[in-house]
Structure 1
Amino acid sequence: MPPRNQAALDFLASRRSLPAKTFTAPVPSRAEVTEILAAATRVPDHGKLEPWRLLVLGRPALTGLADLAEARARDLGGDAEKIAKGRGQYDLGHLAVVVISSPVAHEKIPQVEQVLSAGALCMNIVSAATAAGWGACWLTGWPAHDATFCQQAFGCTAGETVAGIIHIATAPVTPPDRPRPDLAAKVTWQGLEE
């Protein structure tokens, strides 16, 4: 039997998603964010292709994005609710890491696997930030799926998409656990004895 890392399993079994809107200052320093990103980027490089890029945003940048989201919502004829949802995470955010999926033409690595690599990186950042003691929450929202907003806000080019916006800051007291998926309803077993 391979060696067991019980501490890692306990961490994953007890990790909870916390709402980013409940986060407060302080936020990790640049050195602490670098440590989180170094841990998170070790694995989802997908054959050394690294089909993603990262943008780290502090409070002043997030404030500017809130204004940009509002302007974009108005351009689209959005109502007060769309404007509020567009501004929301940027108005309330303290620090965020934007994970941009940047797939490239490759003869052996399909584009879908490259996009999934960016998603895996989002989860790794959430896990690394949580392990470092911070609150972390993976969000998107309608602006993250609007090509014009993404080009203006994040410099996204054709073919690039936002995989996630990971908010990192001080989390409130851990809330009670919520119901988890029923594995019996979600897992099908084939060829493996009990």
Structure 2
Amino acid sequence: MDNNVINNIATPATFLASRRSSSPKLFTGPLPDHDTLNRILTSGLRVPDHKGLQPWRLIVLRENALTKLSCSIEHEAMEQKNGNAKWLRIANLYRNAKLVVCVVYSPIEQPEVPKWEQLLSAGSVCLSLVNASLSEGFAAAWLSGPPTESRSIMNELDIMEHEKIVGLVHIGSCKNTPSDRPRANISGKVSYRD
């Protein structure tokens, strides 16, 4: 499967109209090489950022770090009374992952830029990383879920108390064509006022 066929990168308009993520469960190699990954990361940080605060940072997780993360998630699963199976599925996903970019919201004290605006900037990094990966011909998906809320996992990743994980962006290649999901109909989501 050629990811460029699914995400038609012929023009910016066709890309935005066709873009979609694949399930990270299906990701394989090849992965971006060093230069390509740096291009993806550089493009991913080109987001709206009031006052240039850069209220985010990235942690690139590769195989050894992902194996360690998977073990932490398994440990977390043992602590859960309900949802244990869900945590174990998540642990397996990270055990098999090859490249994940952890996007950390790291707010800055700035009276002119509210925290919610800084959080939106960090979220924009997640989408921008996905789009940059797709435009380079790779598969990508932005995940959140239980690992982003676990203080023990955040501690393992050196996420400070005032910070938060806003996304775990999986990057790889995908041999299967993902089915598209139903998309929002603008007639139910857009209103016009003159």
Alignment deviations for residues 138-180 of structure 1 (CA, whole Å, 9 cap, x no partner): 001201111222122x211112111100000012243343321
| Displacement of 1:78 | 5.3
Which of 128, 132, 143 in structure 2 is aligned with 1:128?
Answer: 132
Deviation at 1:47, TM superposition (A): 2.1
Paired residue for 1:38?
42
Q: Distance in 2 between matches of 1:104 and 1:27?
A: 33
Question: Structure 1 unaligned runs (5+)?
Answer: 1-5
Kept in 2, the 8 Å contact 1:56–1:96? The answer is yes
Is residue 23 of structure 2 the alignment partner of residue 19 of structure 1? yes
Output the aligned Cα RMSD: 1.7
Alignment length (residue pairs)? 185
Match of 1:65 among 62, 69, 72: 69
1-side partners of 2:35 and 2:176: how far apart? Answer: 25
Q: CA deviation at 1:73?
A: 2.3
Aligned partner of 2:178 in structure 1 is: 175
Describe how 1:76-155 pairs up with structure 2 within 5 A: 76-77=80-81, 80-152=84-156, 154-155=157-158
- CA distance in structure 1 between the aligned counterparts of 2:155 and 2:48, rounded to whole angstroms: 24
Supply the AA of the counterpart residue of 1:169.
G
Q: Is this contact kept in 2: 1:44–1:50, CA < 8 A?
A: no
The superposition leaves residues 19-44 of structure 1 with CA deviations (integer Å, 9 ceiling, x where unpaired) of 11111112112221111011121233
TM-score by length of 2: 0.89
- Return closer, same or farther for 1:44/1:33 CA change in 2, 3 Å cut-off: farther
Identity of aligned residues (%): 36
- 1:79 & 1:189 partners in 2: Cα distance? 43
Consecutive aligned runs of 4 or more in structure 1 exceeding 6 Å deviation: none
1:95-118: CA deviations, max 9, x gaps? 010000001111100000001101
Do 1:24 and 1:169's aligned partners in 2 also have CA atoms closer than 8 Å?
yes
- In structure 1, distance between residues paired with 2:90 and 2:180: 28
Shift in CA distance, 177/159, structure 1 to aligned 2, threshold 3 Å? same
How far residue 126 of structure 1 moved from its aligned partner, in angstroms, is 0.2
The one of 149, 158, 161 equivalent to 2:161 is 158
TM-score, length-normalised on structure 1? 0.89
Deviates more, 1:80-89 or 1:166-175: 80-89
Which shows bigger deviation, 132-141 or 171-180? 171-180
Q: Output the CA distance in 2 between the equivalents of 1:46 and 1:29.
A: 32
Q: Which residue of 1 aligns with 2:6?
A: none
Aligned counterparts of 1:19 and 1:165: Cα–Cα separation in 2: 13
Select between 165-174 and 106-115 the one with higher mean Cα deviation: 165-174
